[in-house]
Amino acid sequence: MPKKMLILIDFQNDFIDGSLGTPEAQQIIPVVLKKLSEYSKDERIATMDTHGENYLSTQEGKYLPVIHTQYKSHGWEIYPAAQVGFKYIIEKSTFGSIELAQLLLNEKVEEVELIGLDSDICVISNAILIKNIAPEIKVMVSAHATAGTTPQKHENVLEVLKTLQVDIID
């Protein structure tokens, strides 16, 4: 049986109902919670978008001047109902996490399913990093357990991911 992991990408308060929240993010909550229940704690990894007080002076902050997911703030925390236990939680200061891709490679993971937010920023960034750092890992993205910054961007990114040999499921 292949070693499979579920990766919950940035399912944090600020992206759901906080400073960068969207109705689409709120709509996927039940699907995300169902997906989390299908995996054991040892099969789940979470990433957390993590910024410091200097965020607005960073490259990202200049493009997106909205304070969000500041370390240890309420908006930074994983959405309460999704705090179900994870084998690893990776705090990342940028869209994608090289640490995550390397961890999957080191753990000899064969398949990953990505869920969470936002499909057109952090989900796609991590899917691409995993495909490039560990090209033999089968990467899947759940169409219904992810949401983009807009519905159109979400649909666009799913098409791009297909061309990059990422399986779109659900």
Residue pair 115/142 in contact (Cβ under 8 Å)? The answer is yes
Q: What is the rounded CA–CA span in Å between residue 47 and residue 2?
A: 22
Q: Of the candidates 3, 37, 32, which has an alpha carbon nearest to the alpha carbon of residue 123?
A: 32
Average pLDDT of 99-124? 97
Average pLDDT of 148-159? 98
What sign does the dihedral 21-26-28-32 (CA atoms) show? Answer: positive
Is pLDDT of 1 > 60? no
Task: Give the mean pLDDT of the chain.
Answer: 97
Cβ atoms < 10 Å from Cβ of 169? 13
Place of tokens 């169409």: 143
Is pLDDT of 15 > 60? yes
Is pLDDT of 13 > 70? yes
Q: Mind listing the pLDDT tens digit for each residue in 32-91?
A: 999 999 999 999 999 999 999 999 999 999 999 999 999 999 999 999 999 999 999 999
Residue partners of 157: CB distance under 8 A and separation at least 6? 119, 120, 123, 124, 148
Band (pLDDT 50/70/90 cuts) for residue 151 is very high
- What is the C-alpha end-to-end distance of the chain, expressed in Å? 21
Is pLDDT of 25 > 80? yes
- Provide the pLDDT for residue 2: 64
Residue pair 9/126 in contact (Cβ under 8 Å)? The answer is yes
Average pLDDT of 131-155? 97
Band (pLDDT 50/70/90 cuts) for residue 3 is very high
Average pLDDT of 105-113? 96
